[in-house]
Amino acid sequence: MHRLETVVIEGMENGVRVDSRVLEERIQQAVRDGARRLEIRAMGQHGIGGRIWISEKDPVHVTVVGSPGQRLGAMGRPGTIIESAAPASDDVGWLNTGAEIVIFGNASNGIANAMAQGRIMVGGSIGARGMTMTKHNPRFEAPELWVLGSVGDYFAEFMAGGVAVVCGFNSQNPGNVLGFRPCVGMVGGKIFFRGPHEGFSRADALIEPVKDNDWSWLSDGLHRFLERISRLELVADLTDRNQWQLIRARSPHERLIKKRRSMKEFRTSVWDGELGRGGLIGDLSSSDHSPIPLVVTGELRRLVPVWENEKYLPPCQGNCPSGIPVQKRWQLIRQGKEQEAVDMALMFTPFPATICGYLCPHLCMDACTRNAFGMQPIDVTVLGKKGLKATVPQLPALSDKTVAVIGGGPAGISAAWHLRLAGHHPVVYDMAERLGGKITSAIPDSRIP
C-alpha cells in the first residue's frame, strides 16, 4: 500500500450500516497497514478519527464524507487531521489531545468538551455547551476552537484553559453571538468574539481591550482559519480590529467575593423576621439571646484534649522486624534528602542494604495501606539497595561498660551495633570462624553484594 494512496472505508456494506466498533477496527487496521490518507464514507458512526496513536510520529489525514456521528475526533492525537464536509453531531473533539478537526458547516452540542490540546475549526455555528471543561498544560500549546458563526447557550462553562474565537458571521442569533449564560464557572482561557452579546458571568470573567500581541495572534490565526475552511474572501471583513472584543477568566485575586453575613445579622434580619420574633412562631418563641457562659474548666470539664500524634506506629513501620520508620524515609525522599533517607536505616540496623534491599521479604510493603485501595506500594527495594553507600553516623564516646554479646549472627551483630550507638563497648563471641551467621553461611554470595 502506497503511503499517499487514499484508502476508502465504507460505512455501509450490502445495504446495512457498519457498526461503529467495526468501522473503528477497520480504520485502525488500515493505519497499521501503512495508510496515511483515509476517506471515511460515514453513516452516523461515532468516534471517527480518534485514537490514532501513530499519528504523532507519522501524520494521518482523515476525510469524512457523509454524516459523521457523535464524538468525531474524540481523543484525537497530535498529527491527526480530520476534515468533515458535512455538518457534525455532538461532542466533536471530545477529550482531544492534539488533533486538528475542520468542519465545513455547522456542528451540534458539546464541541471541544474537555479538550486539552489541538485545534477545532467550524465553518458555521455550533450548539450549546461548546468549549466546556477544557484544560491547558503550560508545557503544550493551548487548545483552540474557531467558529465562523455563533455559539449556543452555556458556552465556555467551567472552561479552564485554551482560546476560543467566535467570528459572528451569519450567526444564528444576530443579536447575541455568545448565547445564554456563557462563561459560568470559567477559571482559565480567553474568548475573542465579534458581534453583540447579552452578557456573561461577570463573577467569573471580564472584558479587556485587545492588546497588540493578542491582535497579532488573532489576525494570523484568522488567515489560517479562513484558508482551512475555504472562506478567504472574508479576510477583509473579519480583520477589522475595532469589531473584536476579548473576554478572559478572572484571576483568583479578581474574583467578586460576596460579603459574608454575620450570625447577628442573620438572626435579626432573617431568623427573627421570618420565624422568630415578629415571624411565624413569634408568639411562641421566648429564646434567650444573652451571651452563653464560658465553658467550665478543671475537674468539671468533661472533654480534655490530648495530643497523641504518632502514638501508634504506621502499618509499614509496625510490620518491620527492625522497626525502620519507612514513611519517614520516603518523606525525606520527597524533600530531596536522598542521602539522609539512606543513612537513617543505620540508626536501626547495621545491615541497611541487606535488610531493605537484597534479602528482606518487605513486610512493610505487605502492610502498606495502599493495598487496601488497589494501589501499588512504593518499592522500598530501590531505597534499600542504596544502603551500600550509607554513611556511618558519628558514634558517641565509649562508656566504662563492656558488654559481651554471645552469637555473631544477624541478631548478635544488631545487638552489638545498638549497644555501640548507646555508647557502650560490645564484644561479640561466636564459635564460627566467620561472623554473620546464616547471612554468610547459608545464603549464596550471588544474592548479596
pLDDT band for 258, please (50, 70, 90 cuts).
Answer: low
Please say if the pLDDT value at position 348 is more than 70: yes
Q: Which own/partner contact pairs does 227-232 have at CB distance under 8 Å and 24+ positions apart?
A: 228/102, 228/121, 229/102, 229/104, 229/121, 229/122, 229/123, 229/148, 230/104, 230/123, 231/123, 231/148
Q: What is the pLDDT of residues 162-211, one digit of tens each?
A: 999 999 999 999 999 999 999 999 999 999 999 999 999 999 999 999 99
Domain extents for the chain? 6-252, 311-392, 394-449
Within this chain, domains 6-252 and 311-392 share the same CATH topology: no
Residue 228 cell numbers, joined: 482551512
Residue 174 cell numbers, joined: 444576530
pLDDT of residue 294: 65
Q: Check if the beta carbon of residue 114 is closer than 8 Å to that of residue 92.
A: no
- Reported as half-sphere exposure (CB side, CA atoms, 13 A), residue 156 has a value of 36
pLDDT band for 292, please (50, 70, 90 cuts).
Answer: low
Q: What is the pLDDT of residues 27-50, one digit of tens each?
A: 999 999 999 999 999 999 999 999
Please say if the pLDDT value at position 5 is more than 80: yes
Q: Check if the beta carbon of residue 194 is closer than 8 Å to that of residue 165.
A: no
Residue 194 DSSP label: E
State residue 314 phi and psi, 5-degree precision. Answer: -60, 155
Residue 357 cell numbers, joined: 534491599
Does CATH number 1.20.1290.10 belong to domain 6-252? no
Q: What is the CA radius of gyration of the chain?
A: 35
Residue 394 cell numbers, joined: 558519628
Residues 6+ apart with CB under 8 A from 423: 396, 397, 398, 399
Mean pLDDT, rounded, of the chain:
90
Q: What is the largest CA-CA distance in the chain?
A: 99
pTM of the model as a whole: 0.59
Per 3-state DSSP, the chain is made up of helix, strand and coil in percentages (nearest 5) of 30, 20, 50
Distance CA 67, CA 445 (A): 69
> Per the CATH hierarchy, to which homologous superfamily does domain 311-392 belong?
Alpha-helical ferredoxin (1.10.1060.10)
pLDDT band for 308, please (50, 70, 90 cuts).
Answer: confident
